[in-house]
Structure 1
Amino acid sequence: MSMPAPLEDWIARQYRFSAQAMLEAVSATQITQIRPGFGQTVTPIKGSIVASPVLAAWDPDPDYFFHWFRDSAVVIDAIRVLHEDGTLGPEALGHFGDFVTFSLSLPHREPVTDRAKTKPDFAQYLRPEGEITAVSTRDVAAETRVNPDGTLDISRWSRPQHDGPALRLIAVLRWLSSEIPLDDGSRTKAIRLANSDIDFILRHLGEPAFDMWEEEQGQHYYTLRAEATALARAASWLQDAEKAEACRAAVSTLHRRLDGFWREKDGFYSSRLTGDPTKYLDISVIFAVIHADDTGPLHSIRDVRMLATLRKLEKLFDGLYVINQGRPENRAPAMGRFASDVYFSGGAYYFSTLAAAEFYFRFAAECTGDLARNYFAKGDAFLETVRAFTPESGELSEQFDRNTGQQVSAKKLAWSYAAFVTAIAARNSCDEVQ
């Protein structure tokens, strides 16, 4: 039996593949999705980012041919990372400019569907007409997702959701504050989009919204953490003193609320304050600090209570999934979302397992000596797990089955590739540890 290639070799190969595969979801204008049940044909326009470019119709794979506000923000941020490390050239700037233009154009007001063409058995999934016409341009970002042709989603879905505008604001401000040479048109539009997202967050601050998994409406750690970071960065960026002060005041309020998510008796940050207790321990909390990438002592990588939360999650999934039983010593547990997850296999997610890896790489960068090396090794252990369940092709779906390890759910998930890109970028920032 041949020995597996060194991890470094696999990382380099998978990184290149992930970068190109992720771009298949960006401005996928050559693909058309036909939804005969709704009498709908959707062809993406430039700047849209579909969650998955692989057409499906819940047959059994899910239809992810939508521009999710959260997922697209994660992808556009990963494109920045790829440009800064030299993997992508000037085309990255074009993708960002198109993304900003698309975002500002929402929603397009062409007819979204001919309701008369909806098949009778699909009528139950059709969104009420009044709900669609009530969507205002300034609040379209609460829609969770739109069609990649810029029209509103006509299906019943979990709305409103407020993490998307916050993540988009964080991503756009990173582009604006970087040394990337944006042209004047893209920069002007990006500033306009950033101000729009700031206004959205301030306008809806504290309102209940759906969690990042789009299952429960309420107050959620992930959303509040993203909003706090977005507004803190906005306050430093804004030249409007009054608006900047409003942002700072909101950040103080949000941090006080975030403190309330710590469950002392359980030893972890809860993903929510009410609702299903089986969802309290949820990987979304780890995503919150990774996506926010804040540097404060609390609610960040530096927060030892966050490390305790991740360890609780590791223990949970270690005992929950068959694929984690008897694993080699060099592999960490495959990670999912929360204990009661039943979506598809209710199993391991590539982006969840990569989030754990990225957390440990970022934590290693905050340490020195043996501690830094130990946490770096923890990150590599999660990469070994991803490697073990990645086919030779390099393709990453949304999940890999908790019992068999076979890929399930949406194929070629853009977020999975973006998560790989940012995890490796975090690993590369640990130069002194390697």
Structure 2
Amino acid sequence: MRNLKALALLPIYFVASTSMLAGGKGSDVVKGKELGQWVQITKPTMLRHLVENISRPGTAPGSVVASPSTFDPNYYYHWIRDAALVMDIIVTEYSQAVDPIIKNSYRRMLFDYTWFSRSNQTIWTPSGGPGEPKYNVDGSAYNEPWGRPQNDGPALRALTLTRFANLLLEEGRHDVVRDILYDGTVNSVIKTDLEFVSSHWQDPCFDLWEETYGGHFYTLVSSHRSLKEGAKLARLLNDAEAATKYEQQSRAIEYSLRGYWNENIGAFIASINPWLVMSGNPGQPLYGRSGLDASVILGLLHSNASDDLLPFSDDRVQATVAKLENEFQRIYQVNNKGFQGIAIGRYPEDRYNGYTTDGEGNPWFLTSLGFGEYYYRLANHLEKLGKIEITSRNAEFYKKMGIATPVDFARALTRIREKGDDFVVVAKFHMDQEFRMSEQINRYSGYMQGATDLTWSYASFLTAISHAKFSYR
């Protein structure tokens, strides 16, 4: 019952008309201010759905269930990656909360998550380290065969908790940060993850989809950002030697990432030397994959890579986005029914249908919303940059939005933001009347399937809309 009080404090909106709210009313074109009104009404409910899956009744305080689904499929576990992305939303809400009661509620969630995470780090697990991908909701180790380790998990967890630590430092809570989050030894939660990442980022591991073993773009960009931000925190707390090490390793990652651009494909690829693994150990070479994967774009978003690593306006990034959109437009029947927007999947050759791994892959809410976030953040980035450069690599990307040389800059920004809207409308159209989102969208019918109430889906929605500017029209 821990979060019932927190849920009660979140705003509830009562609306006379449901036509604007209904997920099934997405066939009409919705953009700009009209979509902004829908988002404003919908956001509190999305946040409530997300909070419902934090410290659920019967689970350990600080656990985040990936989904309340316990059978076909069973997602009733605490995944390190999912939890970090979800709790990053709570960090943002904490930073913006004005009401002291609500702020204290978010702070309690974050401390619970911190203690739960520290417990995860200290118990025995099959992988023997922070790269263990998931835990039972009571905090005990999951000892069944699984794709382990997954080294993006500790990187993302360190990144989320570093954001929290910085907020506490701004509030003058230095002792709390040193006692609980970062004390300069490996006996603190952030330091443990940063030491692991700095020592193991070169190691092969499983990807975020838990299917392939090798080196992964997503894992590397997540590791890069966690070490960059961790170095800043370490210097603030007078741990200069560690800060220097983290900075050195982040620079080494930058060099390693150069190998993920594939000139023949004309896109960044997801993995290098990947092996397809179904039994938990490296098994067979990964045949039949082009390397195109939405995880590349998610990695750039989750690591804020545009700040200093790969700008969202990089023509190679834009070429990758265009190729993924073309593939998903082609293979998903639901994208060819005249509806607004393109539903995005994980990768074109995907066979996981939400229940089995021998079916046909589908669009996911979190990837579709991730593409919406990309376009919103691209528009914001270009607005600050003050210019758009069209090259042979990104010409198709811009052409699809009607943008060509000479560029009408103001109109181009509007078109890019409208493209972001299209992906939010995809989610709006396929979610249910209570604004609930599962993991996947059936590639033929458009109905939801797979794990219900996927917490990551709500996190992706809230993150995407936080970068939108719906007043452009």
Which category describes the TM-score, using the shorter chain as reference length?
0.7 to 0.9
Cα distance in 2, alignment partners of residues 96 and 401 from structure 1 = 35
Residues 197-276 of structure 1 mapped to structure 2, 5 A cutoff: 197-238=193-234, 239-275=238-274, 276=286
Q: Deviations over 1:319-346 (max 9, x none)?
A: 1101000323xx2210000011111251
1:350 maps to 2:349: no
Cα distance in 2, alignment partners of residues 133 and 168 from structure 1 = 17
Cα distance in 2, alignment partners of residues 224 and 378 from structure 1 = 28
Q: Deviations over 1:63-96 (max 9, x none)?
A: 1111100000000001122233449532111100
Cα distance in 2, alignment partners of residues 418 and 154 from structure 1 = 28
Cα distance in 1, alignment partners of residues 253 and 219 from structure 2 = 10
Aligned partner of 2:108 in structure 1 is: 94
8 Å CA contact retained: 2:151, 2:201? no
Aligned partner of 1:35 in structure 2 is: none
Aligned partner of 1:381 in structure 2 is: 422
1:362 maps to 2:403: no
1:160 maps to 2:160: no
Aligned partner of 1:27 in structure 2 is: 55
| TM-score, length basis structure 1 | 0.84
Residues 316-331 of structure 1 mapped to structure 2, 5 A cutoff: 316-328=327-339, 331=340
**1:195 partner letter:** K
**2:210 partner letter:** E
Cα distance in 2, alignment partners of residues 190 and 398 from structure 1 = 32
Q: Deviations over 1:23-58 (max 9, x none)?
A: 111111x24xxxxxxxxxxxx21011110123x222
Aligned partner of 1:15 in structure 2 is: 43
Aligned partner of 2:31 in structure 1 is: none
Q: 1:292–1:376: structure 2 CA closer, same or farther, 3 Å change rule?
A: same
Shift of 1:133: 6.5
Q: 1:318–1:226: structure 2 CA closer, same or farther, 3 Å change rule?
A: same
**2:462 partner letter:** V
Q: 1:312–1:198: structure 2 CA closer, same or farther, 3 Å change rule?
A: same
State the secondary structure of the residue aligned to 1:217: strand
**1:214 partner letter:** E
Greater Cα offset, 218-227 or 179-188? 179-188
Shift of 1:15: 1.2
Residues 140-179 of structure 1 mapped to structure 2, 5 A cutoff: 141-178=130-167
State the secondary structure of the residue aligned to 1:273: strand
Aligned partner of 2:8 in structure 1 is: none
Cα distance in 1, alignment partners of residues 108 and 341 from structure 2 = 38
Question: Which of 179, 195, 198 does residue 191 from structure 2 map onto?
Answer: 195
State the secondary structure of the residue aligned to 1:219: strand
Aligned partner of 1:305 in structure 2 is: 316
Cα distance in 2, alignment partners of residues 172 and 366 from structure 1 = 26
Per chain length, whose mean CA-contact separation is higher, i.e. which structure has more relative contact order (CA < 8 Å, sep 6+)? Answer: 2
Shift of 1:187: 6.1
Question: Which of 336, 341, 358 does residue 350 from structure 2 map onto?
Answer: 341
Shift of 1:296: 4.1
**1:337 partner letter:** R
Q: 1:12–1:134: structure 2 CA closer, same or farther, 3 Å change rule?
A: closer
8 Å CA contact retained: 1:366, 1:372? no
Q: 1:90–1:64: structure 2 CA closer, same or farther, 3 Å change rule?
A: same
- Structure 1: give runs of 5+ residues left out of the alignment: 32-43, 110-131
Q: Deviations over 1:96-155 (max 9, x none)?
A: 00000111112676xxxxxxxxxxxxxxxxxxxxxx77654xx1x211101111111022
Aligned partner of 2:448 in structure 1 is: 407
1:57 maps to 2:60: no
8 Å CA contact retained: 1:108, 1:151? no
State the secondary structure of the residue aligned to 2:270: coil
Aligned partner of 2:392 in structure 1 is: none
**1:64 partner letter:** Y
Shift of 1:391: 1.1
Cα distance in 2, alignment partners of residues 326 and 178 from structure 1 = 46
Shift of 1:424: 0.8
Cα distance in 1, alignment partners of residues 165 and 319 from structure 2 = 34
Aligned partner of 1:290 in structure 2 is: 301
Q: 1:333–1:176: structure 2 CA closer, same or farther, 3 Å change rule?
A: same
Q: Deviations over 1:237-269 (max 9, x none)?
A: 213222112111111211111111001122110
Aligned partner of 1:71 in structure 2 is: 82
Greater Cα offset, 266-275 or 280-289? 266-275
8 Å CA contact retained: 1:271, 1:279? no
State the secondary structure of the residue aligned to 2:272: coil
Q: Deviations over 1:147-205 (max 9, x none)?
A: 11111102211011100000011111112223674855466312221111111112212
Aligned partner of 1:390 in structure 2 is: 431
State the secondary structure of the residue aligned to 2:264: coil
8 Å CA contact retained: 1:47, 1:98? yes
Shift of 1:274: 2.7
8 Å CA contact retained: 2:377, 2:467? yes
Aligned partner of 1:104 in structure 2 is: 118
- Structure 2: give runs of 5+ residues left out of the alignment: 1-17, 22-33, 183-187, 275-285, 354-359, 384-409
8 Å CA contact retained: 1:350, 1:398? yes
Aligned partner of 1:332 in structure 2 is: 341
Q: 1:370–1:70: structure 2 CA closer, same or farther, 3 Å change rule?
A: same
Greater Cα offset, 365-374 or 393-402? 365-374
8 Å CA contact retained: 2:221, 2:305? no
8 Å CA contact retained: 1:51, 1:64? yes
**2:245 partner letter:** A
Shift of 1:316: 0.8
CA-based RMSD of the aligned residues comes to 2.2
Aligned partner of 1:419 in structure 2 is: 460
Q: How many residues get paired?
A: 387
Q: Percent sequence identity over matched residues? A: 29
Shift of 1:372: 2.0
**2:95 partner letter:** E
